[in-house]
Amino acid sequence: GEAEAELPIRPFAVCSDVTAGKPIEGENATPYDLPIPPTTSVAALVNAGLGNPATEHMTVVFSTYQSIQVVADVQRSTGLVFDLVVCDEAHRTTGVSGLHEDDSAFLKVHDNLTVPARQRLYMTATPRIYKPAAKAEAQEDDLLLASMDDIDIYGPEFFRLGFGESVELGLLADYKVLILTVEETAVSRSFQNLLSSNGELNLPDVAKFIGCLTGLAKLPATGEGAFQSDESPMERAVAFWSTIKESERFADQFDLVAQHYNRQRRVRSPQTDKRDISVPTRHVDGTDKISSRRKDIRWLKETPPENECRVLSNARCLTEGVDVPALDAVMFLKPRRSKIDIVQAVGRVMRKPPGKTFGYIILPIAIPAGQDPSAALDRNDEYDVVWDVLQALRSHDERFNAYINRIALRTTEDDQDPDSPIQIIDATPTATDDSESASDDETVGVGSQTALFTFEDWTEAIYTKIVKKVGTRTYWEDWAHDVADIASRHTSRIHAILDTDTAVADEFDQFLAGLRSNLNDSITTDDAISMLSQHLITSPIFEALFGSNAFALNNPVSLTMQHMVDVLDQHNLDTETEGLDKFYDSVRRRVEGIPEHDAPARQHIIKELYGRFFAIAFPKVAESLGIVYTPIEVVDFILRATEAVLSEHFDRASLSDPGVHILDPFTGTGTFITRLLQLGVIRPRDLHRKYEQELHANEILLLAYYIAAVNIEAAFQRELDEQGTSDPDPKPFPGIVLTDTFQLGEAGEGTGAIDVFPVNNARASRQQSLDIRVIVGNPPYSAGQQSANDDNANLAYPTLDASIAETYAARSTATLKSSLYDSYVRAIRWASDRVGQAAHGGVVAFVTNSGYLDGNTAD
C-alpha cells in the first residue's frame, strides 16, 4: 500500500516466490530492504536472526498462509512468540479442521500451539459465516468449524465499516451496476465478416464484447441514465472470466472487436470519433510470477493516452491480496458463484482517487432474438452472472435491500431511476439508413432492440427476475403461525392479570363495556383480549411502515386500545412479543428506500401484509367474518357503474355532488373508498368536502380497521400532492368507524352508551343521522360455522332478520330458508333498508357470489 510505517521495522518475507519484494524495472527500491530474499527455508530465517529480538526495530514477518508452517517451525526452534498476528483476508481462514497435522495451512493460524502469539487480529471485507446446519454436521463428526461469528476462535467484533457508511464518509466511491443487453441478431448482421474470418470468436462473446465497449466508452444508449453526471470514458478496467483459456482469448480479441466497432461507428457518424476508444488488454493468471503480475499491474496503473482504456483480464487472481490500482470498472463475463470473489472485485472499483464519482460493475448479456425474455432468462445459465453479482452485493452492502425493494414496487410505466445503482442499458448495434457507405458491413449505432420483443420488454423481465432471484423473501405466513401462539399466550397472561389485579380488572371491565357498545353485546372477554393482542402485535408494524407513531397518536380507536395496553404494561405484557423482532425487521426492510410520499407503495405492502399474515395469524376471526380481498379492477367497475346509475336514474347526479353521502359498510382494507378518491370520479374542488363530510366506512375487525384508515388517509394525501395542495399536517379520516354495521341497524343499538370510545361513538351517531344515498362494498361471505368446534356461529340481529323474514323469506317458495340469513344476504337487506330511508332512495352496489341466484332458496 502507500502508507509508510511510523516505526522502523526489520521485515522478513516467507513465501516460495523469490521475486516477491524485488523492485521491478522503473520502480524505486522498497522503503525497507529485506535482510535476506524471500524464502521458505527455516535455517535461512533462523540464521538471519528472525528468532532474535531486535533492539531498535520491530520485527515483522510477511507470510503467505500457504507458508505458515515454515513460520511455525521457526517459532518452535527459537521460542519466538509474536505479540500480534494480523490475518488479512481473514475469510480465507474459515472452514473445517480436525487433527492438527491434517489442518489446511489457512486454518493453522488459529492454533496457538502451532503459531504462538499473544493476540490475533482478523481483517476482512467479506466475512464468511456458516449456516447452523453446517455447524451441526461438523459437530456430529467431531470436527471444528471455523466460522467468523465464532467468538471462541475469532474473538468479538472489534470494528465494522460497511459499504454504505464508507461511501457516506467519502472513503470509497459508490458503485453502479450496468446490465448491458446486446441482441445477437444485430451483432451477427453487423460483424458478419469478422465472425467469418476469425475462428476464435463466437456470436455470444462478440455480443458481450460490444456491451463492455459501450460501458467503458460510456456511449449514449437507450435506457442510459448511469452516466448523467460522469460522462468521461473509462481508463482502467479488470475483466473476470471462469477459465484461463477464456481470459486469454478475450485478451487476444477484445481490442480487435473494438477497432472493428469503431470503424463502423465512424462511417455512421464522424462526430462519434471522440467516443472511439482502444482497449489494449493483457491476460494475467495465478501461474505468473509475482514480478510479471506486478509489471502488468503497473502498466494498468499508468495514465493511458487519450481515448484508451487499459484492461487486465483474469480468471481469479486479481480479486484479493493484490495491490490493484483504483479501477473505473470491473467486468464479469461469466457466472461466478463465489460471493467473496465478487465483493472483493467490487472493492477494487470503489477505491476513490481524487475526482472519481462512481465505480462501475459491467455485466454484458447477449440477447437471443425472438425469444420471450422471461423464458430466456429462466433457461440460459449465462444470465446467472447477473444474479450472482447482485446476490453478492446484497449480502455485503447494507443498502442493497432498499434498492431491490424499490424495484419490486415499480410499475411498468416507471422510467429507470438514474440514481439507482442498477441500470439496464440497450447496447445493441443498429443499422443505419446510409448502410451502402459502410463497405461490406452494415454500419452500427447503439440503441435498438428486436421488434418482436422490445428493450422495454427485456428491462421489465430483468427487473422481475432480479426481485425473484435477489430479493429477500419475507415468509410472513411463517410469522403468522408464530403470532397465533403469541396471541394465545396473551390470552393466558391477561386472564391471570385480571384474576389477581382488581384495579386492572375494573379498567378492563370498562373497556369491555365500551367494545360491546361500539360493536355488539356478543363481545366476550376473550374477544376483547384478542383485540388487545392484535393491537400489541400490529402497532410496531405501523411504526415500521410509517417510521413513527403518528397513526397511533391520531387514531381514536388506537388511542383507546393503547390506554388499555398501558394499564396492562405494568405486568410486562409486551415481553410476549419480543420474539417478533425479526418479523418487524422484515417489515422495515420491505419499506426501506420507499420515499415517504409514495403512498401507493406502502398501500401495496399493507395489502400484502393483510392477505398473507392476518388471515393465518387470527384464523377464527377470519373464518367467522368471511374475510375477502377484492381485486382493484372489480372495485373500479363497481364505482364507475354506480356513477353511471346515479347519472341515468337520479337526474344526472354524481358521486361528487354535495349531499351525496357514500358508505362502505364492510370496508376491509378500505379499497372502495381509496379507489373512489383516486379514480377521478370526485372532482378536485370537491375532494376536501367529500373526505371530511361525505365519505363513510365501517369495519368490525380491528386490524382491518387500522389498515383501512391508513390507506384512505394516504390516498387522500396523495391526491392533494398531485393537485399541489398537500397539507403539511395530514388529517385523520373522520368517516371511519369501528363498529358492527348490522348492529347499527338494531333499534337503539350501536351508538355507544359507554364513553370508553368517545370519538368513535360520536362518528357512529353522526353516520346514523345522515341521509346515506350510496352504499358500495364487498360484504362478508360467511355462511355460518363450518364445524361444531369452531365457536364461530354467526350472530343474531333481530331487527335485520325480521326484515328478511318479512321480505325475502315471505316471498320464497323454498322449504329450507336458513341460507337467507347468511351474511351477504343480510348485507343486501340491510343496505336496501338503509338507502330506503333516504327521501329519494339510493344505490346499492355490492360484489356478491351467485349462490342465491343459482339455488332455490331465493326462488
Task: Single out the residue of 297, 298, 304 nearest to residue 279, CA to CA.
Answer: 304
Q: Let me know the angle formed at the C-alpha of 336 by 335 and 341, rounded to the nearest 5 degrees.
A: 155
CB 74 within 8 A of CB 51: yes
- d(CA 767, CA 281) in angstroms, rounded, equals 77
Which letter, b or e, does each residue of 399-427 get, where b requires 16 or more Cβ atoms within 10 Å of its Cβ? bbbbbbbbbbbbeeeeebeeebbbbbbbb
Burial of residue 848, with CB atoms counted within 10 A of its CB: 0-12 exposed, 13-18 middle, 19 or more buried? middle
**662 beta partners:** 695, 774
C-alpha cell at 146: 471455523
Q: How many residues does the chain have?
A: 859
Per-residue confidence at 642, pLDDT binned at 50, 70, 90?
very high
Position 575 scores a pLDDT of 77
Q: Residue 610's CB: how many other CB atoms inside 10 A?
A: 21
CA 683 remoteness from chain centre: 36
Lowest mean pLDDT among 118-127, 159-168, 612-621, 682-691: 612-621
pLDDT digits 0-9 by tens, 803-820: 988 998 888 767 666 677
pLDDT > 50? residue 785: no
Cell numbers linked to 724:
399541489
Q: Which three cell numbers stand for residue 309?
A: 482504456
Cα(771)–Cα(136) distance, integer angstroms: 68
Distance, in Å, from the CA atom of 643 to the CA atom of 183, rounded to the nearest integer, reads: 49
Report the alpha-carbon distance of residue 193 to residue 206 in Å, rounded.
Answer: 12
25 confidence band (pLDDT: 50, 70, 90): low
Are the beta carbons of 234 and 328 closer than 8 angstroms?
yes
| Block residue for cell numbers 420515499 | 595
632-705+733-846 CATH fold: Rossmann fold (3.40.50)
Residue 805 CB neighbour total at 10 angstroms = 13
With a CB cutoff of 8 Å and minimum separation 6, the contacts of 822 are 781, 782, 783, 784, 794
How many C-beta atoms lie closer than 10 Å to residue 631's C-beta?
Answer: 11
Nearest-CA neighbor of 349 among 216, 250, 478? 216
**Residue 437: per-residue pLDDT:** 38
pTM for the structure as a whole: 0.65
Q: What is the pLDDT of residues 377-429, one digit of tens each?
A: 988 888 999 999 998 888 888 788 778 877 877 655 556 777 788 999 998 87
| Mean local confidence (pLDDT), 52-56 | 76
For residue 94, the model assigns a pLDDT of 92
The DSSP bridge partners found for residue 179 are: 363, 424
DSSP state of 163: H
Other Cβ atoms closer than 10 A to 802: 11
Span of 247-256, 321-330, 590-599, 779-788 with lowest mean pLDDT? 779-788
Tally Cβ neighbours within 10 Å of residue 623: 16
Phi, psi torsion values for 424, nearest 5 degrees: -105, 125
Q: Are strands 95-97 and 144-146 parallel, antiparallel or unpaired?
A: antiparallel
CB burial of 35-66 (b: ≥16 within 10 Å; e: otherwise) equals eeebbbebeebbebebeeeeeeeebbbebbbe
User: In this predicted model, what pLDDT tens digit does every residue of 556-580 receive, in sequence order?
Assistant: 888 888 888 888 888 877 777 777 7
Smallest Cα–Cα separation from 780: which of 700, 711, 703? 700
**Candidate from 346-355, 432-441, 849-858 with smallest mean pLDDT:** 432-441
**Better-scored residue on pLDDT, 244 or 809:** 244
Beta-sheet pairing, 661-664 with 236-240: unpaired
Give the tens place of pLDDT for each residue, 770-782: 999 999 999 876 5
What's the CA gap between 401 and 394, in Å, rounded?
Answer: 6
For residue range 506-550, list pLDDT tens digits in order.
999 998 888 888 777 878 888 888 888 888 887 777 777 766 666
Quick one: pLDDT band at residue 53, thresholds 50, 70, 90? confident
Of all residues in the chain, the percent with pLDDT exceeding 70 is: 79
Let me know if 578 is exposed, middle or buried by CB neighbors in 10 A (0-12, 13-18, 19+): exposed
For residue 551, is pLDDT > 70? no
The C-alpha atoms of residue 835 and residue 827 are separated, in whole angstroms, by 12
pLDDT band at 786 (very low <50, low <70, confident <90, very high): very low
Q: How far apart are CA 226 and CA 179, in angstroms?
A: 11
Element (H, E) at 87: strand 85-87
| pLDDT score at 808 | 84
pLDDT at 2 over 70: no
Strands 85-87, 281-283: pairing is unpaired
- pLDDT confidence of residue 386: 92
Q: Are 498 and 635 in contact (CB under 8 A)?
A: no
User: Which residue type sits at 124?
Assistant: T
Cell of residue 517, nine digits = 357498545
Check if 175-381+404-470 and 632-705+733-846 are the same fold.
yes
In the predicted model, what is the mean pLDDT of the chain? 81
Picking from 233, 235, 236, the residue whose alpha carbon sits closest to that of residue 273 is 233
DSSP notation for 805-853? IIIIIHH---S--GGGGSHHHHHHHHHHHHHHTSTT--EEEE---SHHH
Mean pLDDT of 328-335: 91
> DSSP labels for 265-287?
HHHH-GGGGGG--B--EEE--TT
**pLDDT confidence bin for 439, thresholds 50/70/90:** very low
Closest CA to 167 of 417, 346, 404, 423: 346
Is 843 a residue whose pLDDT tops 90?
yes
The residue extents of the domains of the chain are: 9-154, 175-381+404-470, 476-625, 632-705+733-846
In CATH, the number for domain 175-381+404-470 is 3.40.50.300
